[in-house]
A and B are shown apart, each in its own frame.
Chain A
């Protein structure tokens, strides 16, 4: 890897998270086990895996929404908890799966962006705010007149999601954690969001942690891939290597179940899920 001259922004070291439930008969669930990886400046790292493999837990740990059981997350070499929360969230932003739930249906969509200025006062007069908002929207390919002043229900999911991506841009975030950011969108709008994320990487040098269960999207977007299974990273490496030549058996199985556009599956004899037989 060309890691020498690249700057490591986020580093996860032996990150583990165990969820426990119950006081007497305590049940433990190891959601994330010993995960170590880092995100460099201006790269897109994808985290792929099935549901329940711990992808979102990693995102939450990086976003400081939960505390790790052991291990630590470093941001520019310092532990994340040493940063002021407000300052940290200016630099690390999240885009989540459901764009509809990020908006309050009673307010106009503008509010999502205007609120930022209250938190991070880098624009004082209302005119200046408007100017910043519309120039940012233009930068990500939204026509501001089309979208500003509308209510969430008047816009499509793709538009809402794009609009949310303007937020990290306005406050000059350095890392964006995109947790299944495109899963709820249609195929036709999904491509637009993916291209937008790629352009953020190229033009603004924003690092992105792209979490998805869709291997095709991960392949399209990422520089580096981490494959997770049951809380562990089973394979990681540059996208070109991992997708061309997966080494771990789980990765191989996962990739072979992805439907391809111009290649058909061979429906041999029906395979029985080993999980179905248990119990």
Chain B
């Protein structure tokens, strides 16, 4: 029986500010099993990154956790003691690489100093200042050396050279920076890696290398499973085992990746896939792409019933009044009234 590394149950979260309350994640249930790469797809503004931030346990200032349960390797991250969460869950059981995380590298510090900062922060319960006073100079040096050796070994597994540690961020290319960030967040071999749009700022050749590094990390057992968020469903298709599709703060379909690509069940998934411009060297001839008319719902006051019905070709009266629950269809689950037996 597969073990659930991440269990999200009826999670709700919202952004609160002068703009009102935006329910960006509204009742999401999702599990990521040990050993699988789960993809999360959807348009911008559908709540993908919000879901990732909430499951990382450290939402940004305007984002508020409302209700629901997130179990990371059996630990309820919103119920447990923050100190336990910081030392035991973060980086050790779960690591979160946010969007544009490669900009978090400090431009005036070498990568090694950045690594040491993170190691200090994660490895002890005591604040850094106190610890430095306690330790002798020799001890400090040996600890540093050890940490850097560990980081160097780790970077090599990601296909980076050890000398990267001595460089400044501006000396690295985008793909290398992204791999450095991935490397730092996986230093403690977290079981689960939540990674948000890691390749969106990269061009295709570097994108491929970064994805190869991620797949390699999983293959050599540093991470066990991954929640990979991307708006680009062709990228998800390359590495994911299963995929969840979000729309308007809700999950509309979860299925095996092949089934999502080849026989999507939810009308939204189907339209999303037919709108994807995909590269196929053998296909010639133009046309055939369809964009989805309309725009995603305003999540301050989402439409009654199914969130997708204003843009759906097959909507019926029932769709307008009641929101469909997730129902098992084939290998996965779909939230659409057409599949309600």
Residue ranges of A at the interface with B (Cβ–Cβ < 8 Å): 50-51, 156, 158-159, 186-195, 198, 213-217, 219-221, 239-240, 243-244, 253-255, 257-262, 264-265, 267, 270-273, 275-277, 279
Contacts and interface: CB of A to CB of B under 8 A. Distances in A.
A186 B273 CA distance: 12
Contacts of A262: 237, 261-262, 278, 280
Interface of B: 43-44, 158-161, 163-164, 167, 171, 173-176, 203-209, 211-213, 215-216, 219, 231-235, 237-239, 261-262, 271-273, 275-284, 286-287, 289-292, 295
A267 B216 contact: yes
A158 B211 CA distance: 29
A276 B164 CA distance: 8
Given A243-B281, A258-B279, A260-B279, A273 B289 contact: no
Nearest to A218: B279
Contacts of B231: 186-187
Given A219-B283, A262-B278, 4 more contacts: A159-B295, A255-B281, A265-B211, A276-B160
A-side interface mostly: helix
A264 B238 contact: yes
Contact of A187 (B43, B173, B205, B207): B43
Contact of A267 (B215, B262, B277, B295): B215
Most chain A CB within a 10 A radius of its CB, from B158, B203, B231, B237: B203
B20 to A, nearest CB: 15
Contacts of A276: 159-161, 164, 176
B173 A220 contact: no
Contact of B289 (A195, A259, A260, A261): A195
Given A191-B291, A220-B277, A254-B204, A198 B212 contact: no
B232 A187 contact: yes
A260 B278 contact: yes
A163 to B, nearest CB: 14
A186 B43 contact: yes
